[in-house]
Structure 1
Amino acid sequence: MAIESDVLVVGGGLAGLTGALSAAREGADVRLVSYKQSTLRQASGLVDVLGYTPDGDGPLTDPFAAIQSLPDSHPYRTVGVETVRDALSLFDEAVPTYEGGHTDANALLPTHGGTVKPTARYPAGASAGLASDDRDTLLVGVEEMVDFDAPHVAAHLGAAGVPFDVRGETIRFPGDLRADAKVTRYAKLLDTNGEVAVRGRKVPARDALAQRVNPLLEGEARVGFPAILGDDEPGAIRAALGEKLGVDVFEVPMGPPSLPGLRLEDALFDALDAAGVSIETGNPVVDVDGDDRVERVFVEKNGARIPNSADQYVLATGGFVGKGIESDREGVSEPVFDCHVPHAEDRYDWFETELFGDHAFARYGVATDDDLRPLDASERPEFDNLRAAGSVLGGYDFAAEKSGSGVSIATGYAAGQRAAQEAR
């Protein structure tokens, strides 16, 4: 007997989670199935709407104003700017620890690479680090974390012309942690405020960290750490460190594994639980039944093929990185529903010879109608009851535009909402 629901979402990334939440908020019985862990743990945790135009102009001040000038094939043009706003409102409600919803303007945040990134939503823990703030800044790196070279980051920010003086210092993190300790180990130690040995005596970890940073201050009004300041209690940890140091404390978003990304994932799964969404992860969809309509999909679990049926389906399996789009010498394909992916027949037309050139493959994905239904090679819907969302969509280069999270949220919201409204 098949597991039944009104709406079945395939994919557990930002688009899939948003789509499931949107459908549930419309009153649908929603089930989400995902083969892999969410890619959010590999992401910075920042939510970009549009940082640059497809032509490379930017950073953009108002991403919403720029949407109307995007190519017709862009997913933002498909859903419309008001849907983008509505989707972000849903996100703001589901993840109240994020800021940026008070304005249409992009915020400018320093990154662990020493660049300044335009973004529409950002964790509260990063808010004291905005590059538009002119207060002098000390960045503190940790010897054991080679991905965040604080002096290097500070030098790059200074060369980029930020409106404040910035320095970088490196410390040894207090406590007996292995040299290859994961960011979650630092976070857990600060969450529990466990005691660490300092000069032969036991000191709470937060006190010990503040004691190592305090002598480095030279009048700066704010201090930035790599994003390791707790998982369960990041706000309390920042407040405690700020009080002990007499400054505002912020986190600099990091690359994978990303603690802000994990926090965002947890917040969205909490919202799905509260909305009553059924979730199954770790098992792939291996087959599909249906002609003009998807009748059911089969999820492989412990060697068995478990049928799952729904009235409406949402495809949100990701792009090339998430294996939602695949390629080989024969061409480019979407492996779950076998949707058509428009692409050049000659593989040499997929890319440019320049490393940072305008590569066509970056925009490969399924094409859809105005209702986000994937189209076949004749531009007819593959299935009447299937919609696509997120980076499985074609028509945009999310890496160059800094638009990946925004497109995932906007199209996930629209696909989930429309699926729920049409579900019997």
Structure 2
Amino acid sequence: MAIESDVLVIGGGLAGLTSALAAAQADIDVRLVTYKQSTLQQASGLVDVLGYRPNGDGPISNPFEAIPSLPVEHPYQTVGVDAVRTALSLFDEVTDYAGSHTDANALIPTHGGTIKPTARYPQSACAGIASDNRPMLLVGFDSITDFDAPLAADHLTSTGVPFDVRGVTIQFPGDLSADAKVTRYAKLLDTNGDVTVSETGGGGHRPARDALADRVKIYLDDETRVGFPAVLGDANAATVRATLGTSLGADVFEVPMGPPSLPGLRLEDQLFDALSDAGGFIESGNPVIDYTDDGSGTVEKVIVERNGAEIPMRAEQYILATGGLVGKGVESNREGVYEPIFGCHVAHDADRYEWFDEAVFGEHSFARFGVDTDTTLRPVDESGNIEFENLRAAGAVLGGYDYAAEKSASGVSIATGYTAGMNAATTVAQTNNVS
């Protein structure tokens, strides 16, 4: 017997979570099925709407003003500017992110010393915003080699930021191993557990936050804000920053890092909590491996593999949010490019050499591979015909845009996820009213 719901979302990333949340808040029975842990742990935690134009021009000051000039095949053109705004309002409602006070992009320093335009950003990054002219001290840990604070400071200075910035590298207090995971740093600061420190003359113990602040104080000059790698706690991150800030007499912020990303994991927790609060059901760790249809373009059910057993799941509406080439929502072989669950059409040149540009940073067509849709995000075939009446696609599985070059991944996921979820919920409601 099949497990039933009104809307079944396949994929637990930003697009899947947003679509499930939008449908659940519309009082629709929603089930989200995701195979692997969300890709949010691989993300910086910043939410970009549009940082650069497809031709590379930028950074863009106001992404909402730039959206209408995007190519017609871009997902933003499919859903429209108003849907982008409404979707972000839903995001703002269920998270504690900053940036909703303005349409303009914020400029946030990254761990490489670059400046990234972004529309929404964690509270932990607020004090590091590049439009602030206060002097900044960046603090790196010698055991976290991904963040070279002095080098990042030099790079920031070379970009012409309107503030003085220095970088120092210190040893993180305690006896964490050189290859400790970022979650170990976060947990130690979360609990404020005692660590062994050498400053007391060979083996004293101090709370971790106090010991860290003491090691930074000696490097402070006139800086009124201090940036650390994004490892400052998890469950108690705000408290960790506040405690360090009080000890240092400066505003403390986190510099977004590469994977694994604690800001990304914190965002994932907020979205999963919001979906649960809205009544959505979440099942993780089990892949969708197949589907059946009624022969006339309607998905009847999908098959989920659970501990070696094939479990049928049935819904009135389905949302495909499995990611792009990176997330395995789009795959390729010597025969071509394809969407692996439903076999949705993915436009691509038959000549594999045409998938790439000769220039390393050229316009690679593979970056825009994905499912094409109609105006309601239903996948269409090569002739533009709807492939499945009750299936919609959202997020990186969509084609027509290069999210890495545009810095638009999160925005597209949120906007198309919201639109897919609301379209699915509206269709279910209309069907139920008719019946």
Residue 79 of structure 1: aligned partner: 79
TM-score (norm 2): 0.97
Percent of residue pairs identical: 69
Which residue, out of 378, 395, 399, partners 1:394? 399
Residue 357 of structure 1: aligned partner: 362
- SS of the aligned residue for 1:98 comes to coil
Counterpart Cα distance in 1 of 2:57 and 2:112:
21
Residue 417 of structure 1: aligned partner: 422
Counterpart Cα distance in 1 of 2:245 and 2:405:
36
Q: Displacement of 1:126 after TM fit? A: 0.3
Given the alignment of the two structures, is residue 240 of structure 1 paired with residue 243 of structure 2, yes or no?
yes
Taking only aligned residues, the RMSD between alpha carbons, in angstroms, comes to: 0.6
Residue 319 of structure 2: aligned partner: 314
Residue 387 of structure 2: aligned partner: 382
Which residue, out of 194, 205, 230, partners 1:227? 230
Residue 266 of structure 2: aligned partner: 263
TM-score (norm 1): 0.99
**Structure 1: gaps (5+ residues):** none
Residue 10 of structure 1: aligned partner: 10
Q: Displacement of 1:302 after TM fit? A: 1.2
Residue 153 of structure 2: aligned partner: 154
Residue 179 of structure 1: aligned partner: 178
Q: Displacement of 1:400 after TM fit? A: 0.3
Residue 123 of structure 1: aligned partner: 122
**Structure 2: gaps (5+ residues):** none
The one-letter code of the counterpart of 2:246 is: E
Counterpart Cα distance in 2 of 1:372 and 1:253:
32
The one-letter code of the counterpart of 1:131 is: A
Which residue, out of 254, 259, 274, partners 2:257? 254
- SS of the aligned residue for 1:387 comes to strand
Residue 34 of structure 1: aligned partner: 34
Counterpart Cα distance in 2 of 1:82 and 1:310:
28
Counterpart Cα distance in 2 of 1:378 and 1:411:
22
Q: Displacement of 1:27 after TM fit? A: 1.0
- SS of the aligned residue for 1:87 comes to helix
Counterpart Cα distance in 1 of 2:136 and 2:290:
54
Q: Displacement of 1:132 after TM fit? A: 0.6
- SS of the aligned residue for 2:70 comes to coil
Counterpart Cα distance in 2 of 1:306 and 1:61:
48
- SS of the aligned residue for 1:287 comes to strand
Matches within 5 A, 1:97-176: 97-176=96-175
Q: Displacement of 1:416 after TM fit? A: 0.4
Map Cα deviations across residues 311-332 of structure 1 (whole Å, 9 max, x no partner): 0000000000000000111100
Counterpart Cα distance in 2 of 1:392 and 1:299:
19
Counterpart Cα distance in 2 of 1:195 and 1:345:
61
Bigger mean CA deviation after superposition, 214-223 or 191-200:
191-200
The one-letter code of the counterpart of 1:372 is: L
Which residue, out of 369, 372, 396, partners 1:367? 372
Residue 283 of structure 1: aligned partner: 286
Given the alignment of the two structures, is residue 59 of structure 1 paired with residue 59 of structure 2, yes or no?
yes
Counterpart Cα distance in 2 of 1:197 and 1:289:
60
Residue 209 of structure 1: aligned partner: 212
The one-letter code of the counterpart of 1:194 is: G
Residue 24 of structure 2: aligned partner: 24
Counterpart Cα distance in 1 of 2:34 and 2:206:
43
Map Cα deviations across residues 192-241 of structure 1 (whole Å, 9 max, x no partner): 00011123221110000000000000111110000010001111111111
The one-letter code of the counterpart of 1:227 is: A
Counterpart Cα distance in 1 of 2:179 and 2:150:
21
Counterpart Cα distance in 2 of 1:154 and 1:217:
15
The one-letter code of the counterpart of 2:42 is: Q
Given the alignment of the two structures, is residue 343 of structure 1 paired with residue 342 of structure 2, yes or no?
no
Q: Displacement of 1:378 after TM fit? A: 1.8
Q: Displacement of 1:31 after TM fit? A: 0.3
Counterpart Cα distance in 1 of 2:60 and 2:360:
24
Map Cα deviations across residues 287-342 of structure 1 (whole Å, 9 max, x no partner): 11103100000001111110000000000000000000001111000001110001
The one-letter code of the counterpart of 1:171 is: I
Residue 192 of structure 1: aligned partner: 191
Q: Displacement of 1:175 after TM fit? A: 0.8
- SS of the aligned residue for 2:404 comes to helix
Counterpart Cα distance in 1 of 2:20 and 2:311:
20
Residue 298 of structure 2: aligned partner: 293
The one-letter code of the counterpart of 2:35 is: Y
The one-letter code of the counterpart of 1:262 is: L
The one-letter code of the counterpart of 1:379 is: G
Q: Displacement of 1:396 after TM fit? A: 0.3
The one-letter code of the counterpart of 1:396 is: Y
Map Cα deviations across residues 338-369 of structure 1 (whole Å, 9 max, x no partner): 10001111111101111111000100100000
Counterpart Cα distance in 2 of 1:289 and 1:34:
19
Counterpart Cα distance in 2 of 1:220 and 1:113:
20
Counterpart Cα distance in 2 of 1:98 and 1:80:
23
How many pairs were matched up? 423
